Amino acid sequence: MPADADHSGYFALRDQLLGPLRTTVLTSDQLCEAGRLIYGDPYGLSLLGVPAPEMTANGITLLGRTAIECSVDSCVIPVVDTLAALQAVTAPEGPDTANPLIVDLFCGSGNFGHHLGQRLSRPVHASEFDSTVYNITRKNLDRVKSEVQLHLLDYRDLLDRLPARSTHDTYVVEPPWGPAFTAHGLDLTRTSPPVPEILDDIRRSRNGLLCHIVIKTSDQIAHNSLARSFTRARHLTTITPDPLLPYGTNMNFHLYELNS
């Protein structure tokens, strides 16, 4: 999509998906239109290995909010591959190095956890607190025979159930943005809950053992909130998909090593 393209259709769609269509199951035509306006092609909206034009026939359903909030296959797979390469060259430490955790704390569509589990051949625990999203995601994961263990829980309750295993334990952090998505960019101190609070909760669950964090942001960060949130962490790398939308609305994916 050219940089000078008219993006009015995208913004109108976003308002619909986060407004009146937020909890509506989208039709096949709506899914394809979302793919076209957000990713430049209906096939760009692809989750769990199933693109938008094939979702309905394969029994995959999405709510309006999920279609706009999700991390699609083309974005997730390079992040997962990068994480796998990083972990392949470091020896894990901890009480159970043979069985590292993968934890998707605000899983939404479940796509991140699904691809992490497949790529790393590890079990995945995922939490989703919205019962409507949970029920649809559970059905979608079952349709593709995903081994993600999805829990209808607050993320803190899931953390309480999962003591640290190794320094290769990996947490996906994608809380709802809501008012954090401002005209000045994404303010990670205003997500629901705030990212610094989530990181503190993860630290408390780990008894001092390092771990890896994956977090998605927009390409414009407000008030230096990414660096401020991760002051006690080491930045490993950032993966930036090819931009399609106006500055401030495209995605970046960051990998960190979280310290105690």
Residue 4 has pLDDT above 70, yes or no: no
User: pLDDT value at position 197?
Assistant: 98
Residues 131-170 pLDDT 10s? 999 999 999 999 999 999 999 999 999 999 999 999 999 9
Beta strand pairing status for 233-239 and 181-182?
unpaired
Residue 34 has pLDDT above 70, yes or no: yes
For the chain, give the percent of residues with pLDDT over 70.
98
Residue 146 lies in a domain: yes
As a dihedral over the C-alpha atoms of residue 199, residue 202, residue 208, residue 209, rounded to 10 degrees, the angle is: -110
d(CA 124, CA 49): 17
Q: How much is the mean pLDDT over the chain? A: 94
Beta strand pairing status for 102-104 and 50-51?
unpaired
User: pLDDT value at position 5?
Assistant: 59
Q: Which of the four pLDDT bands, split at 50, 70 and 90, describes residue 246?
A: confident
Q: Concatenated DSSP letters for 44-95?
A: GSEETTEEHHHHGGGT---BHHHHHH---HHHHHHHHHHHHHHHHTS---ST
249 conformational bin, left if phi > 0, alpha if psi -120 to 50, beta if neither: alpha
Residue 3 lies in a domain: no
Residue 242 lies in a domain: yes
Range of the domain at 57: 8-69
Residues 51-87 pLDDT 10s? 999 999 999 999 999 999 999 999 999 999 999 999 9
Residue 247 has pLDDT above 90, yes or no: no
Q: How far apart are the first and last CA of the chain?
A: 43
CATH number at residue 150: 3.40.50.150
Whether residue 214 sits in one domain with residue 236:
yes
User: pLDDT value at position 245?
Assistant: 79
